[in-house]
Amino acid sequence: MTPSSSHERSPRAQVDIDLDAIRHNLTLLGARAPGSQVMAVVKADAYGHGALPVARAAVEAGASWLGTCSLGEALALREAGIRTRLFSWLDTPDVDFAAGIEADIDLAASSLGELRRIAAAAKPGTRARVHLKIDTGLSRNGCPPAAWAELVEAAAAEPRVEVVAIWSHLACADEPEHPSIDLQAKRFAEAFDVARAAGLDPMRHLANSAALLTRPDLHFDVVRPGIAMYGLNPVPQAEDLRPAMTFRSAVALVKRIEAGESVSYGHTWTAERDTNLALVPAGYADGVPRSLSGRMDVWLGGQRRPVAGRVCMDQLVVDCGDFEPAVGDEVVLFGAGAHGEPTAREWADKLGTIDYEIVTSMYRPRVRRRYLGERS
């Protein structure tokens, strides 16, 4: 997406989602794991990009699975007409697994209790499709190794359950030389041997975006690209990934102030010269972190320009110097970076966080979405 000075509809706060970029990224990622099926991870409303449009684009790009966190996310996709295999892996103990089984959604079990709740929800004559999760060292969700054999044997003996896969998740795959990766791979191999010894013949999936890009030995039967499919690179080396999200607003007011005048709450910024200010109607209620006050630029009029003073709930102010923008001119808060505009990664680095958090936080009531590259 190219930043422009277009006055089109002058959005208050809008994210443009480039579905062609998502298709490109998934095609690239699939080519990096040619022997594996691709599970496109669309949890958390597709990392803030919109679950249903992204799911459709992912399937068009060759994804044979879609991954969600909650069963509710998976059911919403199924109800919207998505027929692709769906996998849901984390819910509260009172979730209605019966609805997921009836909708042909694969479920995850990390404990005997979870396995039994899933089995109990299967109607007579049906089998729940289950992926057993082994904790290989993330120490988050997953069955502890000491309880793994018992879980596997119970699953193998349960007539209402079909064990589709075993899986786990890597803690440090975005640090390709981290020793924990090999340790987790070893534990995963041991867990697979236990499953085979119990008479199961499951698929395996372990590789997230980072492992997909750096550890072909861990691709196994299914790979699970998440952040990389949205064009954000989780590994140190350069990759031909295209960021799919651009966050933009428009100039609402232009005024000129004299040197010595201060801007916004607390008067933390004072003009050193006469200057033009552009008021932008997007603030921390729209996803612009207040903690970026005094530390962020926007793209306006073909170049970067600094934000003056504190970011407010509903607005921010841009120091334009002698450049005088027009009301309605586009303001890009972050984008792909190809033209010099700020990026989600830049925001994350300044805030001491990760770009996942930046894009996911763009799911907000006042932020309008526009999809580019939609197909009928």
Q: Catalytic: which of 47, 265, 284, 363?
A: 265
* 43 included as an active-site residue: yes
Task: Return the structure tokens found at 63.
Answer: 């994804």
**How many angstroms separate the Cα of 251 from the Cα of each of 17, 95, 316, 322?**
21, 46, 10, 16
Asked whether 199 and 208 are in contact (CB, 8 A), the reply is: no
Asked whether 21 and 242 are in contact (CB, 8 A), the reply is: yes
**How many angstroms separate the Cα of 68 from the Cα of each of 41, 87, 146, 304, 316?**
6, 6, 27, 37, 35
Say how far apart CA 359 and CA 67 lie, in whole Å.
Answer: 18
Say how far apart CA 346 and CA 126 lie, in whole Å.
Answer: 50
The residue type at 216 = P
* 133 included as an active-site residue: no
Task: Return the structure tokens found at 319.
Answer: 């120091």
Asked whether 244 and 48 are in contact (CB, 8 A), the reply is: no
Q: Catalytic: which of 43, 133, 230, 356?
A: 43
Task: Tell me whether strands 128-133 and 161-167 are parallel, antiparallel or unpaired.
Answer: parallel
Measured distance between the N- and C-terminal CA atoms of the chain, rounded to whole angstroms: 20
Catalytic residues: 43, 265
